[in-house]
Amino acid sequence: MRFDGLIGNYGIKKTLNTPFHAYIIHGPKGSGKHTLERILTASLLCRSEDKPCGKCSQCKKYYSGNHVDVSYIPTDMKVKDFREKLKDASYLPNEAEHRVFVFYDADKLSVACQNALLKIVEEPPSGSVFIFLTENAGAMLATIRSRCKMIAMEPVSEDEIYAYLQTSAYAGVPDEKKRAAIAFSDGYIGAALDFLSKKKSDVYSKCQNFADALINNRMIEAIRLSTFKKREDLVEFTKELYDYFTVHMRSLKSGTTEGLNENVIALGQEKLARLCVRLDKLQEKANANVNISLFSTAIIANCLPIIREKQ
Ligand SMILES: [Zn+2]
C-alpha cells in the first residue's frame, strides 16, 4: 500500500501491508486519523498493484465520493436502526474486492451498539472490512478492541511538520508563528494547522498583549483585553490563553523558544505549568453559567499571583 499522503507514522505504514477485517485507528484530534482512513479505504478498493493508484475506476469512484461499497455509519444511532445498517455487511461487495464500513467518533457508540457489532467483527462476512476512528480507544469494549487491529497514530517530528507547513497554505506565515504552531501541535499536523487558522491567530495576538499587560502591571489594559460581551468570545479567549501558555511551556521543555514572547518564557516552566492548570479549570467555568462581565477579574485573579511570585 502507498502511504505517501500520510506524513511520518513509519511504524503504521509497515504494519498495514496485509489487509485485516477490522481496524481501530486512534489518536488525538489532528493526528491524521482521517487521512490514514482515506488511504486505507482507497487501498482496499483499488484494483491496481500499487495501491491506492488514484487512477483505476475504483479509486476514481471513491475519490469522487460515490463508491457503492463504502458506507459511513453514524455512531449516535439507536441500536435498532444500527442493526438495520449493519445488515448490508452480510452482502458481498458490489464492485470492489471489499466492502468498507467506516465509523467516525466510534467512542460514541453505545454499549448496545457495540454489542451488536461484536459478532460481526468476530466472524466478519466475506469481503467486509470495518474501520473505527476514535480519540479514545478506551471507550470501546475490550471485546471489540481485541478483535481489531489497533493503530495508534504516531507524533511526527518537528522538522517533518515544518517541511509540511512550507508546502501548505501557511507557507507564507512568519517563521515565529510556524514555530509556535509546531510547539503547540505536540507532533500532530492537524493541530498545527488548526493553530495557524486565521481566526485563531487574531485571538493569539490578543493573548500575547494580555500576557504582556499582566507581566508589566498594566491592569487597565489587561481588564480591557479580557472583558467580553458574548460568552462564546470569552470561552474562545480562555481556551486560547491556555493554549498560549501551553505553547511557551512546551517550547521551554523542548529548548526551542525562538520567536516566542520573552517575557512569558522568563516566567519559567514551573510557573507556566501552574498557569496552565488554573486556565484549564477556568475554561470549564467559562463554559458554565458564570457572570461573564465579572470573568475578567477571575482570569486576572488566577494568573496574577503566580506571575508576581518571586522566582
Ligand atoms: Zn486504484
Domains of the chain: 10-152 (3.40.50.300), 197-308 (1.20.272)
Gap from CA of 97 to ligand 1 centroid (Å):
12
**3-state DSSP assignment of residue 100:** strand
* Residues 208, 200: Cα–Cα separation, whole Å: 12
Helix (H), strand (E) at residue 19: none
Gap from CA of 21 to ligand 1 centroid (Å):
20
Nearest to residue 102, comparing CAs of 136, 78, 67? 67
Alpha helices in 107-266 (DSSP H): 111-122, 142-145, 158-166, 175-185, 189-196, 198-215, 219-225, 231-254, 262-265
Whether pLDDT at 125 is above 90: no
Band of pLDDT at residue 60, cut at 50, 70 and 90? very high
* Mean pLDDT (whole number) for 108-115: 94
* Mean pLDDT (whole number) for 232-261: 85
Q: Please report, for residues 53, 57, 144, the alpha-carbon distance to residue 96 in angstroms, rounded to integers and kept in the order given.
A: 14, 10, 26
CB 98, CB 45: distance < 8 Å: yes
Quick: pLDDT tens for 184-228.
888 999 889 888 876 567 888 899 999 999 999 999 999 999 999
Gap from CA of 303 to ligand 1 centroid (Å):
55
* Residues 81, 94: Cα–Cα separation, whole Å: 22
Gap from CA of 57 to ligand 1 centroid (Å):
7
Q: What is the pLDDT of residue 254?
A: 73
Gap from CA of 131 to ligand 1 centroid (Å):
19
Gap from CA of 14 to ligand 1 centroid (Å):
20
Gap from CA of 137 to ligand 1 centroid (Å):
30
Q: What is the pLDDT of residue 202?
A: 82
* Mean pLDDT (whole number) for 91-115: 93
